[in-house]
Structure 1
Amino acid sequence: MGTGLAITLTLSLTSLAIALSLQSPPLIFGLIVWFLLGTAYSVDLPFLRWKKKPFLAGMCMVTVFGLVYQFSFFIHFQKYVLGRPVVITRPLIFAAAIISTISAVMSLLKDIPDEDGDKQFGFQSISSKLGKENVLRLCVYALFFAYGVSVIVGASSSFQLVKLVSIIGHSTLAFLLWLRAQTVDLSNNASTYSFYMFIWKASVIDLFNLMFEFEIKFTQVRLFSSRLTSNYFVEFAVVLC
């Protein structure tokens, strides 16, 4: 408990200190919102601990990963790193929509392994209301839809590398999802938790996939370009923290 708290505080304060040193309002705003929602999601205090409230838990995950993360860092890099005017592009909106969908799926899946405990303590999760099988099916279909749309959008790109990365990357994720979904044992909490963690890993891969495509097509950033300073690498530490 003490070690976890120390690590959390250290990383939180470090990322906030870096954001303040960079004097970037969108980065500072994004981190503060992230901290506040993360606290409301996890801390066991009156009116908080939103992770036990289905709607609020889903709202937190979608807001943080799908909206705050995408828009605050995009605006930061566009304006304060590249020195460009801020223009909200269609790829950014598309990425936010895909990540929001995946975040909503994860907020539903996380309750499946906890269903028995939630019922015991009187928590009414979506899984306990609709049933594990229905929630799992809904989540898998939603992910297939997200990956399918990503393949179609990527295939329409005029950039050959983006097209290849999108089609191969998302098709591979969809295939792995199909394989893992066939092996889930809903009566075994270890199995459902393993599937939930698989979706977490897949979401990280998908995020990097989308970021890679986005960088190639719209920002055309070259890490060793003279337009970027060493702060480029420092600022990635904020994301990692």
Structure 2
Amino acid sequence: MASTSKLVLGSSSFPHPTPSSLSITTGSIATKALWHKNRKLQSLEHNWNHSYKFIHGGSKPRNSFVKATSEPSHTQTIWNSTKDIMHTLQKFSGSYYLITVIMSISSTSVLAVENLSDISPKFFIGLFKFIIPIMFMHWYTVGINQLVDIEIDKINKPYRPLASSKISFGGGLAIVAASLFMSFGLALMIGSKPLLWGLILIFILMTAYSVNLPFLRWKKSTILTLLSGVPTILTAYNLAPYLHMKTFVLKKPFIFTRSLAFTTVVMTFFYVVISLFKDIPDIEGDKKEGLQTLSIRLGPKRVFWLCISLLEMTYGIAIIMGLTSPFLWSKIFTVMAHAINAWILWFRANSVDLKSKEDFQSFYMFIFKLLYLENVLVLFVR
């Protein structure tokens, strides 16, 4: 019996692998893993190069992929290059202005709400449906303006992607065409008339503002600039979203409320100031192009203080409307908030070096911050 047990244990049907067979198996698994890893890296490299060439017009990436065996080098290169592309697109789209667009639309949409029950998933879906097509139209307007103004921007704004050749002319044209197609395509699918008419107005007037064709290129004249820009922005970013939310989403009759009247007046002044102020740092390039902006006609100092006076007047109107409010909380908040803003504006304006282009640009961004804040303050006006 002892010998039998020994025989059974010695003749197991599951033999142990020899060292040579173990090394062969392990080696084949490692080889397959390395092969799949290289295929994945090659795929990432191909996709990134394709995106880079589309944006940069077929030029070679500055930070090309390094054929190294370590994965972190490839990952780091992809990450840095992706950040570079995103930063380029951010400059192309004008992110500070896009924030204004989104805030204006959101703020005015809230004004259409009559009671808390209106704040529902339906409201947010309706808001999302309005913002996305408008964002595509925004990319069209800033894109078509940069395509036409490449030579001017090389003087005034050399950091812009088209002026600095970070984006090729063909790449910019493709972005503009795709944005226009997506904007109108989404609007037609959604079926909101306020949204569609707002997009049509932006397309017509802002194209007339930028394109250098007979009877167009309205940016040559300050009056035509204001007529094309201010009504367009006010309608598309304030009145249209209110109508969209009120009639299309919430299915309620249109009512021109006190809050909407306040928003219309205050935002009109802000849009006029922004339209005038943006030309102050661009005098050199505009002169060479033959544009007759108000900054060229009157000089930067006069236009600067004209803009400050208009904004102070805006805050004065806001204070008067606040004093006439039938609600005490609205009266106190509106008057105090706008009085503080008026003082901050005056203090900040007097600290600007009118001979410094950098100071002008910094103050221009400060005006946008005031506009961001105003989009919040209008919600408390009753």
Question: TM over 0.5, yes or no?
Answer: yes
Residues 148/7 of structure 1: CA separation in 2 closer, same or farther (3 Å cut) = farther
Q: Select 2:362's aligned residue among 181, 194, 203.
A: 194
Equivalent position of 2:234 in the other structure = 66
Match of 1:108 among 276, 281, 300: 276
Tell me what 1:51 maps to: 219
Contact 2:295 2:303 (C-alpha < 8 Å) held by counterparts: yes
Maintained 8 Å contact 1:66/1:97: no
Return the structure number with greater relative CO, CA threshold 8 A, min gap 6: 1
Q: Tell me the equivalent position of 1:237.
A: none
Q: Deviations over 1:36-88 (max 9, x none)?
A: 22222233444433223211111122112223432222211111122111123
1:204 deviation in Å?
3.0
> How far apart in 1 are the matches of 2:310 and 2:191?
39
- Aligned equivalents of 1:6, 1:208: Cα separation in 2: 36
What CA distance in whole angstroms lies between the structure 2 residues aligned with 1:137 and 1:87? Answer: 37
Pair 147,13 (structure 1): closer, same or farther in 2 beyond 3 Å: farther
Is 1:27 the counterpart of 2:195 in the alignment? yes
Q: Quick one: distance in 1 between partners of 2:172 and 2:371?
A: 24
Contact kept in structure 1, 2:221 and 2:293, CA below 8 Å: yes
The secondary structure found in structure 1 opposite 2:206 is: helix
How much is the aligned-residue C-alpha RMSD, in angstroms? 2.5
Name the stretch that deviates more: 3-12 or 32-41. 3-12
Q: In the alignment, what sits opposite 2:309? A: 141
Is the 2:246–2:252 Cα contact (8 Å) retained in structure 1? yes
Counterpart-to-counterpart distance in 2, 1:173 and 1:18: 39
The more displaced of 39-48 and 197-206 is 39-48
Give the one of 150, 160, 167 matched to 2:318.
150
Q: 1:4 to 1:213 in 2, by over 3 A?
A: farther
Work out the CA distance in 2 between the residues paired with 1:173 and 1:16.
Answer: 38
The answer to whether the aligner puts 1:76 opposite 2:269 as a matched pair is no
Residues 84-140 of structure 1: CA deviation (Å, up to 9, x unaligned): 111233432332122111111112112211223323333222122222222111111
Supply the distance in 1 between the matched residues of 2:182 and 2:339 (Cα, whole angstroms): 37
| Secondary structure of the corresponding residue to residue 370 of structure 2 | helix
Q: Residues 90 and 135 of structure 1: is their aligned pair in 2 closer, same or farther, counting only changes over 3 Å? A: same
- Is the contact between residue 118 and residue 124 of structure 1 (CA under 8 Å) also seen in structure 2? yes
Map of 2:12 onto structure 1: none
Query: Which shifted more, 83-92 or 156-165?
Result: 156-165
Q: Are residues 16 and 209 of structure 1, via their aligned partners in 2, closer, same or farther at CA, if it must alter by over 3 Å? A: farther
Structure 2 CA distance for aligned equivalents of residues 6 and 168 of structure 1: 48
- Aligned partner of 1:209 in structure 2 is 377
The code of the aligned residue for 1:64 comes to T
**What is the distance in 1 between the residues matched to 2:180 and 2:369?**
22
In the superposition, the TM-score normalised over structure 2's length comes to 0.50
Q: Secondary structure at the match of 2:244?
A: helix
Matched, 1:85 2:253: yes
Is 1:179–2:347 an aligned residue pair?
yes
**Residue identity in the other structure for 2:260:** L
Q: Displaced runs of 4+ in structure 1, greater than 6 A? A: none
- 1:52–1:125 Cα contact (<8 Å) kept: yes
Contact 2:198 2:235 in 1 (8 A): no
Output the CA distance in 2 between the equivalents of 1:133 and 1:66: 27
Task: Assess if the C-alpha contact under 8 Å between 1:67 and 1:100 holds in 2.
Answer: no
Q: 2:298 is aligned with what amino acid? A: L
2:274 is equivalent to residue 121 of structure 1: no
Paired residues of 1:67 and 1:96 also in contact (CA < 8 A): no
Equivalent residues, number: 214
Structure 1 equivalent of residue 140 of structure 2: none
Structure 1: distance between partners of 2:369 and 2:269:
15
CA distance in structure 2 between the partners assigned to 1:162 and 1:12 by the alignment: 41
Number of the residue aligned with 1:225? none
Which is greater in Rg?
A: 2
What does residue 169 of structure 1 align with? 337
In 2, are the aligned partners of 1:166 and 1:209 still within 8 Å (CA)?
Answer: yes
Question: Are the equivalent residues in 2 in contact too, given 1:151–1:171 (CA < 8 A)?
Answer: yes
1:200 Cα deviation after fit: 2.5
C-alpha contact 2:334 2:380 (8 A) present in aligned 1:
yes
